[in-house]
Amino acid sequence: MSKPYSYLFVPATSFSLIKKAVTSKADVVIIDLEDAVALSEKQAAREVMKEALKVYKKEHKIIVRINALETSFWEADLETAVTNGAAGIMLPKAENEQGIQTASNKIREIRENSDEAFELIPLIESAKGIQFAYAIASADPLVSALAFGSIDFSLDIDCELTPEGLELLFARSQLVIASKAAGIGPPIDAVYPNLTDENGLKNQTVFANQLGFKAKLVIHPKQLDVVHQVFSTSDEEIIIAKKIVEAFEKAEKEGIASIKVDGQFVDYPIYKKAKKTYNRNSEK
From its phi and psi, is residue 89 left (phi > 0), alpha (psi between -120 and 50) or beta? beta
Binding site feature residues for Mg(2+): 125, 152
Nearest-CA neighbor of 143 among 121, 124, 116, 110? Answer: 121
Q: List residues forming the annotated binding site for substrate.
A: 65, 125
For residues 139 and 146, give the distance between their C-alpha atoms in angstroms, rounded to a whole number: 12
Task: Identify residue 41 by its one-letter amino acid code.
Answer: E
Q: Which of 238, 261, 236, 239 has its CA nearest to residue 248? A: 261
Q: Which residues are annotated as a binding site?
A: 65, 125, 152
Long-range contacts of 129-135 (CB under 8 A, 24+ apart): 129/93, 129/94, 129/95, 129/153, 130/170, 130/171, 130/174, 130/175, 132/95, 132/96, 132/97, 133/174, 133/175, 133/178, 133/179, 134/177, 134/178, 134/181, 134/182, 135/96, 135/97
Residues 40 and 30: beta-carbon distance below 8 Å: no
Neighbours of 262 (CB within 10 A): 9
